[in-house]
A and B are shown apart, each in its own frame.
Chain A
Amino acid sequence: MKRREFITIPAASLGGLLLFTLDRRPLRSQTRDGSVRVPLKFFTEAEARIVTAAAERILPGDESGPGATEAGVVIYIDRQLAGPYGRDKNRYTKGPFVESVPEHGYQGKATPREIYREGLRGLGDLPALAPTLQNEKLRAIEKTPFFALLRAHTIEGFLCDPMHGGNAGLIGWQLVGYPGPLMSYRDEIDKNPGLPWRRKPVSLSQVLGRPVKGWEEE
Chain B
Amino acid sequence: MKTLKPVDVVIAGGGWTGLLMAKEIATRTTLTVAVLERGPARKMADYAAGMDELDYNVRLRLMQNIAEETVTHRHSVRDAAVPVRQYGSFQPGTGVGGAGEHWGGVSYRYEPDHFTLATHLRGKHGAARLPENLAVQDWGVTYGELEPDYWRAEQLIGVGGKAGNLRGKIVEGGNIFEAPRSHEYPNPPHKSNYLMNTFHKGAIDLGYHPYPVPAATLTRTYRNPDGVTRAGCVYCGFCNRYGCMIGAKAQPSNTLLPVLASRRNFELRPGCWVRRVIHRGGKAEGVSYTDAAGEEFLQPAGIVVLSSWTLNNARLLLLSGAGEPYDPATGKGTLGRNLTHQVCAGLQMFFDKPLNSFMGAGGMGEAIGDFEGEGKVDAGMLRGGGFRTQSSGDGPIASFGRIPPGEAKANWGAEWKQSSLRWYDRMGSVMFEGDHLAYRHNYMDLDPTYTDKFGDPLLRMTLDWTDHERLQERFAMRIQMGLAKAMGARPGGMLRGVGKRYSVTYYQSSHVQGGVIMGASPEISVVNPWLQHWRVPNLWVLGGSTFPQSGWGNPTLSALALTYRAADALVNRYLKRPGGLA
A residues neighboring B (CB under 8 Å): 57-60, 62, 64-65, 67, 85, 88-94, 96, 98, 100-107, 135, 138-139, 142, 151, 154-156, 158-161, 163-164, 172-173, 175-179, 181-186, 188-190, 192-197, 204, 207-208, 212, 214-215
Residues B413 and A60 in contact, CB atoms below 8 Å apart: yes
Residues of B within 8 A of A154 (CB): 412
Residues B235 and A103 in contact, CB atoms below 8 Å apart: no
* A104 with B421, Cβ < 8 A, contacts A151-B412, A196-B356 known: no
Q: Which of A102, A105, A179 sits near B358, CB closer than 8 Å? A: A179
Cβ of B185 within 8 Å of any chain A Cβ, yes or no, is no
In the complex the two chains form, what is the Cα distance from A90 to B64 in whole Å?
A: 9
Residues B353 and A194 in contact, CB atoms below 8 Å apart: yes
Residues B236 and A182 in contact, CB atoms below 8 Å apart: yes
Q: Which of A60, A101, A181 sits near B501, CB closer than 8 Å? A: A101
In the complex the two chains form, what is the Cα distance from A65 to B329 in whole Å?
A: 61
* A104 with B504, Cβ < 8 A, contacts A88-B67, A159-B397 known: yes
Residues A193 and B194 in contact, CB atoms below 8 Å apart: yes
Closest B residue by C-beta to A88: B67
Cβ of B411 within 8 Å of any chain A Cβ, yes or no, is yes
Chain A's interface: helix, strand, loop or mixed, by majority?
A: loop
In the complex the two chains form, what is the Cα distance from A166 to B414 in whole Å?
A: 20
Closest A residue by C-beta to B455: A94
Closest A residue by C-beta to B364: A189
Residues of B within 8 A of A173 (CB): 396
Closest A residue by C-beta to B61: A215
Residues A178 and B54 in contact, CB atoms below 8 Å apart: no
Residues of A within 8 A of B525 (CB): none
B:35-69 near A, CB below 8 Å: 48-49, 51-55, 58-61, 65-67
In the complex the two chains form, what is the Cα distance from A142 to B60 in whole Å?
A: 26
Cβ of B144 within 8 Å of any chain A Cβ, yes or no, is no
Residues of B within 8 A of A139 (CB): 410
* A60 with B421, Cβ < 8 A, contacts A90-B66, A93-B85, A94-B450 known: no
What 8 A-B pairs come out closest when comparing CB atoms?
A: A193-B194, A184-B234, A194-B353, A103-B503, A181-B51, A105-B505, A185-B359, A190-B191
* A176 with B400, Cβ < 8 A, contacts A94-B83, A181-B52, A184-B235 known: yes
In the complex the two chains form, what is the Cα distance from A58 to B400 in whole Å?
A: 13
Residues B425 and A176 in contact, CB atoms below 8 Å apart: yes
Closest A residue by C-beta to B86: A91
Cβ of B375 within 8 Å of any chain A Cβ, yes or no, is no
Residues B236 and A181 in contact, CB atoms below 8 Å apart: yes
Residues B235 and A176 in contact, CB atoms below 8 Å apart: no
Residues of B within 8 A of A185 (CB): 234-237, 359
8 contacts between A and B (CB under 8 A): A60-B417, A64-B421, A105-B84, A176-B424, A177-B424, A192-B356, A193-B193, A197-B359
In the complex the two chains form, what is the Cα distance from A62 to B420 in whole Å?
A: 14
Residues of A within 8 A of B399 (CB): 176
Residues of B within 8 A of A175 (CB): 421
Residues of A within 8 A of B73 (CB): 104
Residues B86 and A190 in contact, CB atoms below 8 Å apart: no
Beyond the given A90-B67, A103-B502, A139-B410, please list 6 additional residue pairs across the A-B interface where CB-CB is below 8 A. Answer: A64-B417, A90-B60, A103-B504, A160-B53, A160-B54, A181-B52
Residues A164 and B54 in contact, CB atoms below 8 Å apart: yes
B:337-384 near A, CB below 8 Å: 351, 353-354, 356, 358-360
In the complex the two chains form, what is the Cα distance from A90 to B91 in whole Å?
A: 13
* A92 with B70, Cβ < 8 A, contacts A185-B359, A189-B235 known: yes
B449 to chain A, nearest CB (A): 7
